[in-house]
């Protein structure tokens, strides 16, 4: 795992500025630094790489990798799991490798096969490829299919600056931009900022399964893979599906165990991480798998006792550390530096602590991320299902008119009125935003004084990919797969783990497993009688008795509700003053005052709404002095 940073344009800033920006990524790659520059043509490049050594720990693995004629250069962050078979093929084509690094296959694969080679890669990766074999040099920025690894770029005045994290880009004064109001609106609705948006204007994320091409001062994006609903669904029985998933999981886990440094796994005691740990333990050639859990003093947030039972059954080398509220609270001031833009998922804090615990013993760890999104495991699906049923069986005009009548009669302060507002939605993404969003359409209007522009949102663009192929009942998991998974879950884990120089690998996000999950009949994923994760549970039963893991889903949460009545009460009052609210964001101060008072007096639990605003205020105070 590594960090990359680079600058392409007609003129390159001085070396000291470039190195200062690269140094902001030292936590991603504390082991080595590598630099490449090319000033031989009108279009110039400076590329830096910070390395966390996982495979080929020798000097030969230092990046960027460059061809002998200096015409092609690559810098990679991540892991390519099928690099051995790719290397064998490339050597037959004439490639001359100088290392045993998995990343070097991208250099020679691109040299021999161009962009088509991207579709051959299996793994998690973000990469920059400099190609000046033709008269017009090109810079390609590549991101893995599921968006496990991050890659950002800033584009302005025929110049492109790219990096693994935003902090490296904003380290250059000329790249510091004002807040993008469209991105801020998405944050208020979703609690994260979806690709390709970032909180800054003229600055973007490379979207999952895409690569950006910068040539002659202009940038375009190309898609090499995306989530597609296959024309022919899986035709076997549920037991056949479990057999195939079992086979794919074993193959993915076996590949992801490759490492020249100590390796372990996260174990929460839930379905996903328990299955990954069980398979990993079977494939270890010697010794016990090191597994890691954190527990909390409060039983409501603590899952450690469940993880301990699973660990005992599997016979792994298990470590659990109990964290206090003070441990969690100490992370708050660091959040803007870790995430670089507003990020409202409070589980980032326990993920940060878990990564710190694991890093004491290992350099890379497996995780169970992706199971809920791929196999329909979230609790909100049952709520969305009910409203989607109305969408499928009630004519749109009748549904909308009936909903608006209910909303008008009762108002949105009570359940019938809120249900009316929900069913009167225009398109499914509106309903998804109302139910799945932290603020929802209604609270967004109260906060900002206007409607969320759903017609031009990332949600609407994403919905168009699926709505003609997927029944309304099952649209939410596909929106989660395409947006929530890369830009909330993967973002959370990448930043929290890399802050400790820990690499985290999610076998469930192997694209072969993703494609298989999408191919399953929807009823194999979820139905009203069995709930979600039907096939995943069938596989887990083969490894661990159901009595050890069959229980209600529990999130990786924090005691936010209590914090806003105690430790965060004064600071939230100071940060969310009417003057600040109006000056910085033009929000409705009376609405926020009501949120705070209702929560303090325990009239309503507003913890997640307040957390979203609190994180935004902390970020604003620390990271964005140029906001208008």
Enzyme catalytic residues: 2
Peptide bond into 64 cis (omega under 30): yes
Q: Is 598 exposed, middle or buried (0-12, 13-18, 19+ CB in 10 A)?
A: middle
Angle at 97 (CA atoms; ends 93, 103), nearest 5 degrees = 105
Q: Which two tokens stand for residue 355?
A: 């990564």
Q: How far apart, in whole angstroms, are the C-alpha atoms of residue 536 and residue 520?
A: 12
Q: Return d(Cα 342, Cα 336) in angstroms, integer.
A: 7
DSSP 473-512: GGHHHHHIIIIIIIIIIIHHHHHHHHTTT-EEE-GGG-HH
CA-CA distances (angstroms) from residue 270 to 3, 267, 304, 544?
31, 8, 10, 11
With 0-12 / 13-18 / 19 or more C-beta atoms within 10 angstroms meaning exposed / middle / buried, residue 396 is: exposed
Among the listed residues 284, 264, 292, 274, the one whose alpha carbon sits nearest the alpha carbon of residue 364: 264
Q: Cα separation of 568 and 333, whole Å?
A: 12
Sign of CA dihedral 557, 374, 265, 543: positive
Nearest to 80 by CA among 54, 98, 60, 62: 54
CA atoms within 13 A on the CB side of 554: 17
Q: What is the DSSP letter of 333?
A: G
Tell me the C-alpha to C-alpha distance, in Å, between residue 485 and each of 208, 322, 510.
Answer: 10, 28, 13
DSSP per-residue letters across 66-97? E-TTSSEEEEEEEEETTHHHHHHHHHHHT---
Using CA atoms, how far apart are residues 420 and 430, in angstroms rounded to an integer? 13
Tokens of 436: 């799945």
Tokens, residue 198 = 């970032």
Structure tokens at 263: 């390796």
CA distance 487 to 192: 7
Q: How many Cα atoms occupy the beta-carbon half-sphere of 522 within 13 Å?
A: 15
Q: Contact, 3 vs 164, CB < 8 A?
A: yes
Cα distance between residue 4 and residue 36, in whole Å = 11
């Amino acid at each position: 795992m590594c960090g990359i940073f680079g600058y392409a344009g007609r003129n390159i800033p001085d070396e000291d500025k470039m190195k200062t920006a690269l140094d902001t990524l030292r936590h991603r790659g504390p082991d080595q630094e590598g630099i490449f520059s090319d000033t031989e043509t009108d279009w110039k490049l400076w590329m830096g790489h910070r390395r966390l050594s996982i495979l080929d720990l020798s000097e030969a693995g230092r990046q960027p990798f460059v061809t002998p004629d200096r015409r092609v250069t690559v810098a990679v962050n991540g892991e390519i799991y099928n690099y051995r078979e790719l290397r064998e093929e490339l050597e037959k084509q004439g490639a001359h490798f100088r290392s045993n690094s998995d990343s070097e296959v991208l250099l020679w694969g691109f040299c021999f096969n161009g962009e088509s080679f991207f579709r051959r890669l299996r793994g998690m990766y973000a990469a920059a490829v400099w190609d000046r074999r033709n008269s017009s040099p090109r810079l390609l920025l590549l991101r893995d299919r599921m968006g496990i690894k991050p890659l950002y770029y800033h584009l302005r005045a025929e110049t492109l600056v790219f990096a693994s994290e935003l902090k490296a880009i904003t380290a250059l004064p000329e790249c510091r931009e004002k807040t993008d109001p469209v991105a801020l609106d998405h944050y208020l609705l979703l609690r994260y900022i979806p690709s390709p948006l970032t909180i800054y204007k003229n600055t973007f994320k490379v979207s999952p399964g895409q690569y950006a091409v910068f040539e002659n001062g202009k940038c375009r994006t190309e898609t090499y893979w995306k989530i597609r609903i296959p024309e022919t669904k899986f035709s076997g029985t549920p037991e056949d599906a479990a057999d195939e998933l079992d086979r794919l999981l074993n193959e993915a886990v076996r590949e992801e165990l490759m490492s020249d440094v100590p390796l372990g796994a996260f174990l929460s005691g839930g379905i996903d991480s328990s299955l990954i740990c069980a398979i990993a333990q079977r494939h270890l050639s010697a010794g016990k798998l090191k597994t890691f859990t954190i527990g909390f003093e409060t039983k409501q947030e603590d899952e450690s006792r469940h993880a301990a039972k699973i660990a005992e059954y599997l016979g792994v080398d298990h470590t659990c550390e109990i964290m206090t509220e003070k441990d969690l609270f100490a992370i708050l001031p660091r959040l803007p530096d870790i995430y670089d833009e507003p990020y409202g998922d409070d589980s980032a804090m326990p993920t940060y602590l878990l990564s710190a615990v694991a890093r004491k013993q290992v350099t890379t760890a497996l995780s169970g991320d992706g199971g809920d999104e791929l196999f329909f495991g979230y609790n909100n699906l049952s709520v969305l299902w009910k409203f989607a049923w109305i969408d499928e069986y009630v004519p749109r005009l009748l549904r909308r008119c009936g909903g608006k009548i209910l909303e008008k009669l009762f108002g949105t302060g009570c359940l019938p009125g809120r249900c009316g507002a929900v069913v009167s939605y225009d398109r499914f993404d509106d309903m998804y935003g109302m139910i799945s969003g932290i603020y929802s359409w209604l609270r967004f209007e109260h906060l900002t004084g206007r409607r969320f522009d759903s017609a031009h949102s990332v949600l609407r663009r994403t919905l168009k990919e699926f709505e003609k192929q997927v029944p309304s009942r099952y649209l939410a998991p596909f929106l989660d797969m395409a947006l929530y998974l890369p830009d909330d879950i993967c973002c959370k884990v990448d930043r929290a783990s890399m802050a400790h120089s820990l690499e985290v690998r999610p076998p469930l996000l192997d694209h072969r497993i993703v494609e298989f999950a999408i191919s399953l009949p929807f009823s194999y994923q979820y139905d009203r009688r069995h709930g979600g994760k039907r096939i995943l549970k069938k596989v887990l039963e083969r490894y661990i008795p159901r009595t050890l893991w069959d229980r209600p889903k529990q999130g990786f949460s924090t005691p936010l509700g209590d914090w806003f009545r105690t430790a965060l009460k004064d600071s939230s009052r100071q940060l969310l003053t009417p003057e600040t609210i109006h000056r910085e964001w033009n929000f409705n101060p009376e609405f926020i005052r009501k949120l705070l008072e209702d929560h303090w007096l325990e009239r309503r639990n507003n913890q997640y709404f307040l957390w979203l605003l609190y994180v935004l205020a902390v970020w604003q105070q620390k990271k964005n002095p140029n906001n208008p």
